[in-house]
Chain A
Amino acid sequence: DTAVSQTPKYLVTQMGNDKSIKCEQNLGHDTMYWYKQDSKKFLKIMFSYNNKELIINETVPNRFSPKSPDKAHLNLHINSLELGDSAVYFCASSQDNRIGGGYTFGSGTRLTVV
């Protein structure tokens, strides 16, 4: 029974297309995140939602739009995909972002833009 599941696992698409990645967690956590890991393996926060409210919105092109229909789901929609968007996107959740505690990550979505 996967704790944080994201789909799809792999996504290959052409430049200019629009795509979505979905994430769901069954841990009852309050906070969910999207991270991007590029080819240099550096993990960077993109967005965070706490109980459906956006609390972190890093400097990310506005082609990226997160949506949280409820606290168990956080989706990421990307418009007009560019070559530089190729990366692994990880969804994560934590119990309460204001208290020390670790994250549980999904298995990642490997996005390749051609």
Chain B
Amino acid sequence: RKEVEQDPGPFNVPEGATVAFNCTYSNSASQSFFWYRQDCRKEPKLLMSVYSSGNEDGRFTAQLNRASQYISLLIRDSKLSDSATYLCVVKRTGGFKTIFGAGTRLFVKA
């Protein structure tokens, strides 16, 4: 079993839709959590950190459930420009290792 697992994609949604991605992690020593976005043939870019209390950044909301060991990303009012691969990222406590999920592909259609 992979240490970080994400929803299989691709997700195909119309503009304006709300879409949610889930990600589970297996190592309970994981401490820090992030969502990255990667456009085709580009580098990953930090979208947002994920905090225990949940956090929002415009149309994006991230949630963390430590008991169930999953994090989620909700995108409201999808735009064409949201089409990308979304990577779930988990960093372990006290160590130096950061694990990237395999990514979930999102296509937003007009």
Spell out A's residues near B (CB within 8 Å): 31, 35, 40-45, 48, 50, 55-56, 90, 97-98, 100-108
Q: How far is the CA of A48 from the CA of B99 in the complex (A)?
A: 13
CB <8 Å contact, A43 and B43 = no
Spell out B's residues near A (CB within 8 Å): 31-32, 34, 36, 38, 42-46, 49, 85, 87, 91, 94, 96-98, 100, 102-103
The distance from the CB of B108 to the nearest CB of chain A, in whole angstroms, is 19
CB <8 Å contact, A42 and B43 = no
Contacts of A56 in B (CB 8 A): 96-97
Contacts of B44 in A (CB 8 A): 43, 90, 103, 105
Closest to B93 in A: A98
Q: How far is the CA of A73 from the CA of B73 in the complex (A)?
A: 34
CB <8 Å contact, B98 and A41 = no
Most buried by A among B34, B38, B98: B98
CB <8 Å contact, A102 and B34 = yes
Q: How far is the CA of A48 from the CA of B103 in the complex (A)?
A: 22
CB <8 Å contact, B42 and A45 = no
In the complex, which of the residues A41, A101, A106 contacts B103, with contact meaning CB atoms closer than 8 Å? A41
Using A100-B32, A103-B46, A108-B42 as known contacts, list a sample of 13 further A-B pairs with CB atoms less than 8 Å apart, ordered by residue number in A.
Answer: A40-B102, A43-B87, A45-B98, A56-B97, A90-B43, A97-B96, A97-B98, A98-B94, A100-B31, A101-B32, A102-B36, A103-B98, A108-B43
Q: How far is the CA of A97 from the CA of B49 in the complex (A)?
A: 15
Contacts of A90 in B (CB 8 A): 43-44
CB <8 Å contact, B46 and A102 = yes
The distance from the CB of A19 to the nearest CB of chain B, in whole angstroms, is 20
Q: How far is the CA of A42 from the CA of B32 in the complex (A)?
A: 20
Q: How far is the CA of A20 from the CA of B94 in the complex (A)?
A: 32
In the complex, which of the residues B31, B85, B97 contacts A45, with contact meaning CB atoms closer than 8 Å? B97
Q: How far is the CA of A44 from the CA of B96 in the complex (A)?
A: 14
CB <8 Å contact, A100 and B85 = no
